[in-house]
Amino acid sequence: MSTRSVLLVEDEPLIRLVLAEALIDEGYHVSMGSNVLEAIGVIGRNRTFDALITDVDMPGGLNGLDLASMVASHAPSTAIIVTSGRAVTEGLQAGWTFLPKPFGVEGLLQLLDERFAGEILPANDFGFARAS
């Protein structure tokens, strides 16, 4: 069971709800958005997230890679998992995990468990940029 917080950004409602339910069942605190602008609004209201799970292709002018880059620049220790139904080779940064769709919920949970294994760190704060 986890007490970590996750920002889940997925434009497909059914996928978003299934993933959120699985994460909540595992004890994650989940906030959701259906596009990048909604996600930025969520970050503005709740500045602490340990992980970002984002789809690449979403409606609007910005995509999931844009969001992941913003998050990585303001909270570099945030775990970033990028998902897509197409092969994504451009735009991924070192340390990010690409998870191709379709994927099983268990695979996602295992990725998060591996990322946070043994860590007892507080949640990341998007309000402060960390020095490299």
Which has the closest alpha carbon to 103: 19, 26, 1?
19
CATH of 5-116, one of 3.40.50.2300, 2.120.10.30, 3.40.50.720, 3.30.420.40: 3.40.50.2300
Distance of alpha carbon 73 from alpha carbon 129, whole angstroms:
7
Is the CB of residue 74 less than 8 Å from the CB of residue 50? no
Residue listed under structure tokens 């919920």: 105
Q: Which residues fall within 8 angstroms of residue 77, CB to CB, at 6 or more apart?
A: 121, 124, 130
Report the C-alpha gap between 81 and 13 in whole angstroms: 18
The pTM score is 0.86
Residue with tokens 């570099």: 76
Nearest residue to 82 (alpha-carbon basis) of 69, 66, 95, 65? 65
Q: Return the pLDDT at 116.
A: 84
Report the alpha-carbon distance of residue 68 to residue 48 in Å, rounded.
15
Cβ atoms 116, 79 nearer than 8 A: yes
Locate all alpha helices (DSSP H) within 26-82, ordered by sequence: 36-45, 64-74
What is the mean pLDDT of each successive set of 10 residues along the chain, which is 132 residues long?
Answer: 86 96 95 96 87 95 96 91 90 91 92 77 42 34
Domain range list for the chain? 5-116
pLDDT at residue number 118:
58
